[in-house]
Structure 1
């Protein structure tokens, strides 16, 4: 009887979780299905996931892009923005986190409080001042407003890495100091190898957020040849002409490929990085 109850409970649990997973993933399945449907069938049979015939031409027409720009240009722009922003955010955040977690200096608590406050500050509050500042610097219509700020630390990553550093015993720092290591030597030779999960977690989140970012490129990039994928997808919707819905969903599906590759390749670092962040040794 006990075995039957356990089996029934396990079966109900898996059915519930499986049903919720299908519910969450249905929009993704619908998008993939729509990328293979004829343009006239996408909304005429909106609830059907099975196309009457497979239209691979949607991917070809979508990849052609607009004017003389194919989606290779937009994917390249996105990769440039994501790669440079991620490198800057992770490297600078790791240095700031190490200073706040390990180096005693006057006002350390105050600056850590400032980091936490910036995490709580709505993005909308800083949008106008930032735009005015970047306009005065002549950075509008360049990649600089999107890339350069990441090299001054990212509050969430600073907090994440800082909490991870606190789990590392101070005795390792003392041993390295006895061996003649400087502050930078301790950071690069002792701390950095031990916080790899937190660094990878920060890199993955930075990749996701920058790849999906729409507002920032919309504000600062005025030339179509500089658009990332997120902005290029919007160009499919033209009020003055017939919308290429098939091409839109085809390119939207392709835009998920880098995210899925990164997630399934590095998902163990996400779990390890987040699960140990709240622990203090």
Structure 2
């Protein structure tokens, strides 16, 4: 067998060291989920628990306010699925319009959309809350899901750049065959931008699953809380915080995130790095 060069060993040692450094907080979280709550920060320097406590997971799964943690996971999953579908459909349609259709003011509207990327979310938070309040949408998932069906600027920009790499000759050939605009989108463009759509779906899943500010603003009933809100409820300023249960449920909520990443990571790379059609 051919011996590896010193550069190969040095590269993998450095990458492995950085990987361990990046994963250490997750490892610490996992180990702390098996410690008693009153000793987690006392023995923070000791990674391995002295006594393994498995009841943190049982206590955490019981939930808070008469709702098990499974209820919070179900609520979050519903919001994630609805939002993901809306963002993928709306962003792809809008991106196709900007990339392929010629209409009056296209450049202006695209520039206006790009400007919204620079606006902090806090700028539109109060106007949005007033609008949703007048629509009587408070304490429902509508404010968290309906806006997804009107496009997301970052996803639109990502898809526009991808669609522009597809030769227009394909559109012209489809027009000669009698295809209309929507058929060109569904039969030609949509299959070719699958890696980019997968990237949009993955990012949508991550951002929606971890969201806290939106649910805190619009959801008032504990039975409608998301996992982020439920985790925050384990902490208390008046009584002793149940750190063990919170860390245990944090590990549970990380499982879908890791699964999605490891299963679909190649789509993220393809969707961002692809600059043209493969021959």
User: What range describes the TM-score normalised by the shorter chain of this pair?
Assistant: over 0.9
Aligned to 1:30: 28
Q: Please point out which of 214, 221, 227 is paired with 2:225.
A: 227
CA–CA distance in structure 2, aligned partners of residues 134 and 146 of structure 1: 10
For the Cα contact (< 8 Å) 1:166–1:280, is it kept in 2? Answer: no
Q: Is 2:187 the counterpart of 1:184? A: no
* Partner SS, residue 120 of structure 1: coil
CA–CA distance in structure 2, aligned partners of residues 158 and 68 of structure 1: 41
Aligned to 1:98: 96
After the TM superposition, which segments of 4 or more aligned residues of structure 1 sit over 4 Å from their partners? none
CA–CA distance in structure 1, aligned partners of residues 37 and 121 of structure 2: 37
* 1:1-281 correspondence to structure 2 within 5 Å: 7-276=5-274
* Partner SS, residue 262 of structure 1: helix
* Partner SS, residue 239 of structure 2: coil
For the Cα contact (< 8 Å) 1:69–1:225, is it kept in 2? Answer: yes
TM-score by structure 2 length? 0.96
Gaps of 5+ in 1: none
- Residues 280 and 103 of structure 1, relative CA distance in 2, 3 Å threshold: farther
Deviation string, structure 1 residues 140-169 (Cα, Å, up to 9, x no partner): 111011000000000000011111111111
Deviation string, structure 1 residues 119-156 (Cα, Å, up to 9, x no partner): 11111111111111111111111101100000000000
Range 9-18 or range 215-224, more displaced: 9-18
Q: What RMSD over aligned residues (CA atoms) do the two structures have, in Å? A: 1.6
Range 44-53 or range 105-114, more displaced: 44-53
For the Cα contact (< 8 Å) 1:163–1:280, is it kept in 2? Answer: no
CA–CA distance in structure 2, aligned partners of residues 120 and 241 of structure 1: 41
CA–CA distance in structure 1, aligned partners of residues 67 and 231 of structure 2: 13
For the Cα contact (< 8 Å) 2:65–2:222, is it kept in 1? Answer: no
CA–CA distance in structure 2, aligned partners of residues 53 and 77 of structure 1: 34
TM-score by structure 1 length? 0.95
Deviation string, structure 1 residues 78-132 (Cα, Å, up to 9, x no partner): 0001110010011000000000000111101011101111111111111111111
Deviation string, structure 1 residues 15-60 (Cα, Å, up to 9, x no partner): 2222221111111100000011122321111022211122111100
Please state how far the C-alpha of 1:224 moved relative to its aligned partner.
1.0
How many pairs were matched up?
Answer: 277
Gaps of 5+ in 2: none
Please state how far the C-alpha of 1:280 moved relative to its aligned partner.
9.3
CA–CA distance in structure 2, aligned partners of residues 172 and 67 of structure 1: 57
